[in-house]
Amino acid sequence: MSAETASKTGWNFARPGEDLGSLSEVHATIAVPKNGSWLRKLIAFAGPGYMVSVGYMDPGNWATDIAGGSQFGYTLLSVIMISNLMAILLQALSARLGIVTGRDLAQACRDHYPPVINIALWLACELAIIACDLAEVIGTAIALQLLFGIPLIWGAVITALDVILLLALMKRGFRFLEAFVVTLLTIIALCFLVQIIAAAPPVAEILKGFVPQSAVLTHPDMLYVAIGIIGATVMPHNLYLHSSIVQTRAYERNDKGRAQAIKWATLDSTIALMLALFVNAAILIVAAGVFHAHGRTDVAEIGDAYQLLAPMLGFGLASTLFAVALLASGVNSTVTATLAGQIVMEGFLRLTIPHWARRLITRLLAVVPVVVVTWIYGEKGTAELLVMSQVVLSMQLPFAMVPLVRFVTDRTKMGHFVIPRWMAVMAWIVTAIIIVLNVKLLIDVFSGAA
C-alpha cells in the first residue's frame, strides 16, 4: 500500500518482514499474472467465491426452498433472486475489506474495538460457527441415511472424518482445496439440472416466478416462508471467511494491485453466487414442478422430498440424485465452516493452535449434540436441533454484518477504496432488512408461531 493510502487507514499495516496475514500458512501463495488475458486473471482469482457460495446452498437452506416450492409453486423464485443479490453485495464488501486493509473481518474487529467488545464478538462468532456446523452435520447425516441406510447417530459420527479430509486437502495446497469444493459444487448443480430436465417445468411459469409479486407480502403463509428464505441467506461465517481467503492471492500489495484484486475477486464471487442462485432456484423449481403441480403442498422436510421425488417424477434416479447433492452440500459446508473457525480464532485472539486440533474441536462441538439428541429424542429431536441452529445463526448475524459495513464505509480505514455513497446506502439498507427479518424469525420461533 502506498504511504498516502496507509496514512488514511487508521490502522497499522504490516512492516516488511512482519506477518499480519490471515491464514498465514497459505497467505499470498497463489500466483497472479501481472500481464496476460482477462481470462488468465479471472482463473487466477477464481476459487474464494465458490468456497463462499457453499454457505448459500448448504443443507440449512434446503427445507425453506422445498417448502416454498411445494406450497406456492414458482412464486418465491423472486425472493431467492433478491436474497442472492443481497448476498452478492455483502460478499463483495467482505472481499474489499480483506484486500484493501490486509485484514480479515476478525482481525479488523480486533484492531478497532476494545478488548471487552472483541471477546463478546469472538464468543458470538464461535457460537455461530458451531451452529452452522451443527446444521451441516445433520444434513450430511441425513444424506448418509437416505443413501446407505446409516442411522443418524452413526452418520453424525462419520462426519467427524471431515477433519481428516480437510487436513489432507490443505496439506496439498489451498488451490487443491478450492478444486475439491468446486468439484462438489459441480456435482450438486448437475444433479439438479438432471432433475429439472426430468420434471420439465413450464418455462413461462418459471420466468414469471422471478418477477416480484405483491402476493408475497399480502399472503401471511407465503410471507413467512419468504422471510425464512431471506433470513437464511447470509451466513455470518461467510463474511469472515471471504475477507480472509481472498488474501491467498499474491496480488501486488499496492494501490494498483489492490484495485485489480477487488475487480477480479468481486467478479469471482458474483459468478459463484449466481451458481448458488441456480441451485436454490432449482430446489424450489423441482419442488414446485413435482409436488405443487400434483397437489402435494405439504412437503417441507428433506426426508419427505427424498421419498416422494422418484415415484411422483417417474424417474428412478431422482431421489438418489437428490441425496447425492445433499451429501455433497453437507461435506462442502463442513469444510468451509471449519476453515472459518480457524480464521476467527486466529483473527480475534491471535491464538494459533495446531490446525488439526482447531478443526477437531469445532467438529466435536457439533457432532456431540447431534449424537446425544438423536440418542435421546430420535429423528424428531434432530429436526428441532436444526431449527435451534438457525436461530443461533440469526442472533449472531448483526455482529458480523454491522462491523463489516461500518469498516468499508470508513474513509480513515479504506482510504480512496471506501465504497461510494450509493453503495453505502444500499449496504445499510440490506443490512437492516436482513436483521429485521431475522429478528422476525426469532420472535416467531420463541412465540411458537414458527
pLDDT at 349: 84
pLDDT at site 355: 67
pLDDT mean over 292-296: 90
Supply the pLDDT for residue 103: 93
Strand partners, 249: 30
- Helices 318-349 & 162-171, crossing angle to 10 degrees? 70
Residue 392 has a pLDDT of 74
In terms of pLDDT, which residue wins out, 362 or 82?
82
What per-residue string of b and e applies to 353-377 under the rule 16 or more CB within 10 Å gives b? eebeebbbebbebbbebbbebbeee
Better-predicted residue by pLDDT, 174 or 385: 174
**Domains defined for the chain, CATH in brackets:** 33-447 (1.20.1740.10)
CA distance 76 to 81: 9
Residue owning grid cell 406450497: 71
Provide the CA 50 distance to its chain's centre, in angstroms: 10
pLDDT confidence band for 3 (50 / 70 / 90): very low
- CA distances 326 to 44, 62, 375, Å, are 29, 9, 23
> Is pLDDT larger for residue 419 or for residue 1?
419
Cell numbers linked to 286: 423441482
Look at residue 45 and tell me whether its pLDDT is greater than 70: yes
Per residue in 269-287, pLDDT tens? 999 999 999 999 999 999 9
Instruction: Please say if the pLDDT value at position 17 is more than 50.
Output: no
What pLDDT digit, counting tens, does each position of 327-374 carry? Answer: 999 888 877 887 888 888 888 988 767 767 766 776 677 677 777 777
| pLDDT tops 60 at residue 257 | yes
Provide the pLDDT for residue 429.
Answer: 94
Give pTM, 2 decimals: 0.89
Average pLDDT over residues 66-77: 91
Joined together, the cell numbers standing for residue 128 give: 455461530
pLDDT score of 277: 93
CA distance 278 to 168: 30
Q: Is the pLDDT of residue 7 over 50?
A: no
Our CA angle for 294, 300, 301, nearest 5°, is: 120
Confidence of residue 93 (pLDDT cuts 50, 70, 90): very high
Give pLDDT, residue 381: 67
CB of 299 closer than 8 Å to CB of 117: no
pLDDT at 380: 67
Residues 102-121 have pLDDT tens digits of 999 999 999 999 999 999 99
pLDDT for 301 equals 78
The mean pLDDT of 145-149, rounded to a whole number, is: 92
Tell me what pLDDT residue 387 has: 63
Question: 85 pLDDT exceeds 60?
Answer: yes
Specify the pLDDT at position 390.
Answer: 66
- Binning pLDDT at 50, 70 and 90, where does residue 1 land? very low
User: What's the confidence (pLDDT) of residue 185?
Assistant: 94
Q: Predicted confidence band at 247 (pLDDT cuts at 50, 70, 90)? A: very high
Interatomic CA distance for residues 424 and 93, integer angstroms = 10
- Mean pLDDT, rounded, of the chain: 84
Amino acid letter, 252: E
User: 208 is written with which cell numbers?
Assistant: 414469471
Between 6 and 39, the more confident residue is: 39
Confidence of residue 164 (pLDDT cuts 50, 70, 90): confident
Chain-centre distance for alpha carbon 382: 21
Q: Residue 238: what are its φ and ψ, rounded to 5°?
A: -65, -30
pLDDT > 60? residue 435: yes
Above 50 in pLDDT, residue 213? yes
- Res. 147 pLDDT band, cuts 50 70 90: very high
Q: What is the mean pLDDT of residues 50-58?
A: 88
Q: Secondary structure of the chain in the HEC alphabet?
A: CCHHHHHHCCCCCCCCCCCCCCCCCCCCCECCCCCCCHHHHHHHHCCHHHHHHHHHCCHHHHHHHHHHHHHHCCCCHHHHHHHHHHHHHHHHHHHHHHHHHCCCHHHHHHHHCCHHHHHHHHHHHHHHHHHHHHHHHHHHHHHHHHHHCCCHHHHHHHHHHHHHHHHHHHHCCHHHHHHHHHHHHHHHHHHHHHHHHHHCCCHHHHHHHCCCCCHHHHCHHHHHHHHHHHHCCCCHHHHHHHHHHHHHECCCCCHHHHHHHHHHHHHHHHHHHHHHHHHHHHHHHHHHHHCHHHCCCCCCCHHHHHHHHHHHHCCCCHHHHHHHHHHHHHHHHHHHHHHHHHHHHHHHHCCCCCHHHHHHHHHHHHHHHHHHHHHHHCHHHHHHHHHHHHHHHHHHHHHHHHHHHHHHCCHHHHHHHCCCHHHHHHHHHHHHHHHHHHHHHHHHHHHCCC
Burial of 267 (0-12, 13-18, 19+ CB in 10 A): middle
- Grid cell at residue 324: 447425492
**Percentage of the chain lying above the pLDDT 90 cut:** 45
